[in-house]
Amino acid sequence: MPRNIVEEKEITIAEAKKILEDEGELDPFQQRSFDYVNKASKIKASEAEKLVKELGERFEVAKDDAIQIVNCLPSTVEELRVFFVASKKKIIMTSKLEEILKLLDKYR
């Protein structure tokens, strides 16, 4: 049965997993989506939400970039730098990237 869209917002893979877990019986499309997010999520939804918020507040990372960082949880400066180069944001000092990696390590 089709549903009306009530709200649209960007969320992490972990948050999508939580939503689908709470849904109950899933239609085939939802089940395929759940199978994907179940394999791809690396942290709990509550931790993902806190991490996105902390990246924004402490490091002024845009929410969409923070969501992608949380989805991938890069483990090196080079991997992390890709998120800022790809989004054509300003160049970020290596020391700041290292601080972000320390934060990510707390959630791994």
In a domain, 39, yes or no: no
Using one digit for the tens of pLDDT, what is the confidence trace for 80-99?
A: 999 888 666 667 889 999 99
User: Encoding tokens for residue 43?
Assistant: 């942290």
| pLDDT tens figures, 12-66 | 999 999 999 999 899 999 999 999 999 999 999 999 999 999 999 999 999 999 9
Q: Does residue 1 sit within a domain?
A: no
Residue 96 lies in a domain: yes
Is 59 domain-assigned? Answer: yes
What average pLDDT does this structure show over 7-16?
A: 94
pLDDT given for residue 4 in this prediction: 80
Number of structural domains in the chain: 1
Q: Is residue 24 part of a domain?
A: no
The CATH number of the domain holding residue 91 is 1.10.150
Cα-to-chain-centroid distance, residue 9 = 13
